[in-house]
Amino acid sequence: MASKQELKRYRSNLADELHGAAIYETLARVETDPARKQTFGELAASEQEHAKVWSDKLRANHQRFNSRPALKTMLMIGLVHTFGPRFVLPSLAAAEFADRNKYARSPETAQMSEDERHHASVVQRLVNDGKSEATKGAEIADAESWHNGVSSGNDLRAAVLGANDGLVSNFCLIMGVAGAGTPNKAILLTALAGIVAGSCSMALGEWLSVTNARELARTQIAKEADELEHTPEAEEHELRLIYRAKGLDNEEARRVAAQIMKDKDKALDALTREELGLDPAELGGNPWSAAAVSFCLFSAGAIFPAMPFLWPSGQSAIAQCIAFSVFALAAIGIFTSLFNGRSALFSAGRQVVIGLVAAAFTFGIGHLLGVSVS
């Protein structure tokens, strides 16, 4: 008979494998490219085989289990149907990469461990479909540090965190002003000012970030072009070293580098991708679209705590503000469960608690300041 800790692990592994199988089955149904559709189908079948291992272990221990899709599974399926496979693949790739070694410690799961590492590699290749090896390498590095923030280029994570910034900052701002005993019209004005100011600040910050990244990339490419013009032998030597590092023997690397150096444009493109790890066609994205998206996401989150002050008055508006904000915080928490590895319930609860603590703190500060000023 398995111990309680082992049974808990069996249930957790079963839930993870059922989640993966459901997502890959959905991707296979939605995907239009035959090759990618087949790949998703194979991944789904592999996840189902893994799920059967854990369900059989639970049955052998006379344990009941729930095979219905979890909340975060249904949410991810909805995102696949709404936005398409490419929207969710970065999050899926990051999760697969994070879990690639979860079965590595046990000899009885050696084959599943190998399968999981293969899954991570396959999904990462699907994310990088059609991109250069240098870009792939940069994105694999991003996948390894996916938990560091939105810099990995994950649209879903960036959207959730952008909306969270707007929600929490404006919720705390409103509660701070409400704690000082400010009339509802003044609170509404403060809330709207907070939406505009915060959205503009976020948009400007994003614009500056992307613009600076593009300018740095252009500077690096210009330096590479200058070196290519004045010291072509050194640049050819660098290319030869790069291709040797990729696994070519010395003679083959020398031949490839010499062939590339015959065309300066191709040589600059190769050096930009291979040495600098930059895609000359993108250079970090469009700063204006990045700013617009940041503005909209922050506003979308910030509007929730402000809405109740458009109709009721007094304590009713504050109560509704808290209720609206709790709902939005829970929704954001559920979305974060898609890429943090925790359950939807835990993520939602944690998000609500942290948001309420922050709001309570600012309410208390506002109350103290309001009393002292009056």
- CA-to-CA distance for 277 and 134, rounded, in angstroms? 5
At residue 192, the pLDDT reads 94
Report which residue type is found at 327: F
Mean pLDDT of 170-188: 91
Residues 125 and 57 in one domain: yes
Asked if the structure places residue 283 within a domain, the reply is no
Q: Which domain holds residue 195?
A: 155-206+288-373
Tell me the backbone φ, ψ of residue 65, rounded to 5 degrees. -150, 160
Greater model confidence, 310 or 155: 310
pLDDT at 203 over 60: yes
Look up the pTM and report it.
0.65
At residue 216, the pLDDT reads 81
Nearest to 282 by CA among 158, 130, 80: 130
Nearest to 120 by CA among 104, 143, 148, 88: 143
- CA-to-CA distance for 92 and 154, rounded, in angstroms? 10
DSSP string, 240-251: HHHHHHTT--HH
pLDDT at 141 over 50: no
At residue 320, the pLDDT reads 93
Nearest to 354 by CA among 225, 186, 167: 167
Question: How many degrees, rounded to 5, is the angle at CA 299 between CA 293 and CA 304?
Answer: 140
pLDDT at 143 over 60: no
Greater model confidence, 26 or 65: 26
What distance lies between CA 271 and its chain's CA centroid?
29
Residues 254 and 296 in one domain: no
Q: How many domains in the chain? A: 3
Where a domain ends, among 251, 274, 297?
A: 274
Residues 358 and 339 in one domain: yes
Asked if the structure places residue 279 within a domain, the reply is no
216-243 burial by CB neighbour count: b if 16+ within 10 A, else e? ebeebbeebbeebeeeeeebbebbbebb
Where a domain ends, among 145, 175, 191?
A: 145
At residue 142, the pLDDT reads 42
- CA-to-CA distance for 80 and 32, rounded, in angstroms? 13
pLDDT at 148 over 60: no
At residue 284, the pLDDT reads 63
Residues 43 and 160 in one domain: no
pLDDT bucket at 140, cuts 50 / 70 / 90: very low
Asked if the structure places residue 150 within a domain, the reply is no
Where a domain ends, among 117, 145, 173?
A: 145
H or E element, residue 292:
helix 287-306
Residues 117 and 187 in one domain: no
Helix residue ranges per DSSP H, 104-231: 110-127, 133-144, 155-179, 184-230
C-beta of residue 191 within 8 angstroms of C-beta of residue 309:
yes
- Residue 341, helix vs strand vs coil: coil
pLDDT bucket at 139, cuts 50 / 70 / 90: very low
Residues 253 and 332 in one domain: no
Greater model confidence, 90 or 195: 195
Question: Based on the number of CB atoms within 10 Å of its own CB, is 328 exposed (0-12), middle (13-18) or buried (19 or more)?
Answer: buried
At residue 155, the pLDDT reads 64
Greater model confidence, 222 or 172: 172
Question: Based on the number of CB atoms within 10 Å of its own CB, is 279 exposed (0-12), middle (13-18) or buried (19 or more)?
Answer: middle
At residue 136, the pLDDT reads 41
Residues 223 and 348 in one domain: no
Residues 36 and 127 in one domain: yes
pLDDT bucket at 371, cuts 50 / 70 / 90: low
Name the CA dihedral angle for 115, 119, 120, 121, rounded to a multiple of 10 degrees.
100
Mean pLDDT of 71-78: 88
List CB contacts of 192: < 8 A, sequence separation 6 or more: 306
Residues 200 and 261 in one domain: no
Residues 28 and 76 in one domain: yes
- CA-to-CA distance for 271 and 222, rounded, in angstroms? 11
Residues 160 and 293 in one domain: yes
Asked if the structure places residue 109 within a domain, the reply is yes
Whose tokens are 């095979």? That residue is 67
At residue 137, the pLDDT reads 41
pLDDT bucket at 153, cuts 50 / 70 / 90: very low
Asked if the structure places residue 281 within a domain, the reply is no
pLDDT at 134 over 50: no
Residues 20 and 109 in one domain: yes
Whose tokens are 């709001």? That residue is 359
Asked if the structure places residue 254 within a domain, the reply is yes
